[in-house]
Structures are given as structure tokens and as C-alpha cells.
Amino acid sequence: MEWLLSFPHMDDERLRALKKVIDGAFRHFTSTYGDAFEAFFQPLQVFLNQSERFMTTTPWPVIIVLVALIAWFASRSGRIVLGCVFTLMAIGYLDMWTDTMKTLSMIFVCTVISIVIGLPTGIAMARSNRLRNLISPVLDVMQTLPSFVYLIPVVMLLGIGKVAGLIAVVVYALPPMIRLTNLGIRHVDAEMLECADAFGSSSWQKLKNVQLPLALPSIMAGINQTIMMALAMVVIASMIGVEGLGQPVLKAISNQYFTLGMFNGLAIVGIAVIFDRVSQAYGRRLQKHLERVHGH
């Protein structure tokens, strides 16, 4: 009966030897190429520092006016604008302004990187079934692999700090952008593409003038999901040195500071609601605009 209870496994000595070889190889890789990786990601460090400096040094009334203008441009809804202003005022009143600005700068940089990587990747996947079949399993792994697991190689390569945290957040938040871009372009009406072909449009013209505009609602949904997933990683990223609202939450967990954890957690929720409402309202406006254009 013992062989039924104990699953057949590799000999302990061999297993230890295998783990030792893999660990040794990775340490050798990090010691050899670690500096090269740091140099490669240096522009990200500069971009993140500049973004954080702008958000933290700009006077708070200017930031609130900017957010209100962006919310109005995206939604044309006074209710959403008032909600954004009220949320930011409450965050500032409860003395969480600086941490919130650091978190916003991280989310902004993460979203920009996700768009720069995700948009062309999604377009390429929409044009090639073979590439889609190749990339889809990678995206599945990125979404299902526990974040703590891929934090290990990132920290070993780049050390504890903002860049390591940023890369971890991007890895977690990128898949929705790629998937929804691919989906949006694939679902563009075939008749519209036939019309473009009939007018002699090139492949680039079809993409720029037909496919991307019609796929914009889906792409906006991808950006929305990317932002939400990036915010979900704020607390985990704080464990490897990313400053912002995540660090007080982590401190509250370690020291049982209930109010500190709740206030900062609610600030994260408030930021998430702002991003969600504004991006969804913009997506709905785009959808209505496209429907009007097609109606004519």
C-alpha cells in the first residue's frame, strides 16, 4: 500500500543536484549580464523618475484641474468630473497625497509601456494565426503565474527598486492589452475591409483608417483592464521597494495598523474607480461616435 500513498519521485540526491545546477546557472547569468540588463532598463528608470517628479512637485490644485479636464474630455459628464475631484480632495485631506501621486506615476508609466508593447503585438497577432497560437500560451502563463514567482528573477537581475517593480507590474498587466487589441481587430466587419480593398487601400491604410478606429472600443477596454491589473499589483510591488500607497498597506499588515491600512486601501480603490469610470465613459463615447458614422 505504501507505493500507492507515496508518488514515485526523483531520487533526493539527483533532485538536489538538478536544483543546484539550475540555481548556479542563473547566478552565473545574473553576475555576467546583470549590468547589461540594468543599462538596458536605465531609460525606464529616467522615465519613471521624471513622471514621479512631475506628479509630486506640481501643486495639488494644478493636478486636480488636470484630472478634471481629462475626465471632462473623456466623459463629458459633470457627475464623473465631480466624483474625480471629490476623491482626490478626500485623499489629500487624509494626508495620502504624495503616496497617491507616486502610485499614479507608476500606473501612468506602466500603462504607456503596456500600450507601446501591447498594441503592435495585438495587431501582429490579429494578422497571423500562427503568431497568435505562439503568443497565447505565453499570455496564459503571464496571467496565471503567481506574481511572487516572477518577482524572483526580476529582483535577482535588477535588484530591489522601482524598475524591478515596474517590470513586475507590466508583466502582470500587459496580457489584457494584447488580447483585446487582437480581438478588436479580428472582429472588424469583413464588409468594411472589402470596401477598403475596393478603394485600393494598402495594408497600412486599412489598418490606420479602418481596423484601428473600429477596434478602438475594444482597445480602450484593454487599457482599462491594464490599469485595473496594475493597481492590483501596487501592494505586491511595494515589497520590492516601489513607493506609493502599497507601502503603508504593507506596514499596516506588518504592525496591525487598521486605520492606516484601510485609508490607503480605500485610496487605491478611489484611484481605481476614477480610472475605470473615465476610461469606460470614453469607450462608450467612441462607440456612439462610430455608430453615428456607420449610420450615415
- Coil, strand or helix at 10: coil
CA-wise closest residue to 245 among 234, 257, 260, 256: 234
The pLDDT of residue 30: 80
Based on the fold, state whether residues 36 and 71 are members of the same structural domain: no
pTM value is: 0.83
Q: Which of 40-49, 58-67, 190-199 has the weakest average pLDDT?
A: 190-199
* Total domain count, the chain: 2
Per the structure, the complete domain to which residue 281 belongs is given by 42-295
CA angle 102, 106, 108 (to 5 degrees): 115
Residue 1 lies in a domain: no
Residue 108 lies in a domain: yes
Q: How far apart are CA 105 and CA 58, in angstroms?
A: 12
Q: How far apart are CA 51 and CA 38, in angstroms?
A: 19
The tens digit of pLDDT for each residue in 145-156 reads 777 777 777 777
Based on the fold, state whether residues 32 and 140 are members of the same structural domain: no
- Measured in whole angstroms, how far is the alpha carbon of residue 256 from the centre of its chain? 29
Average the pLDDT over 232-244 and give the result.
Answer: 78
Residue 186 lies in a domain: yes
Cβ pair 173, 112 in contact under 8 A = no
Tell me, what amino acid is at 207?
L
Based on the fold, state whether residues 108 and 73 are members of the same structural domain: yes
Based on the fold, state whether residues 216 and 77 are members of the same structural domain: yes
Residue 254 lies in a domain: yes
The tens digit of pLDDT for each residue in 87-113 reads 999 998 988 899 899 888 888 898 899
CATH code of the domain covering residue 272: 1.10.3720.10
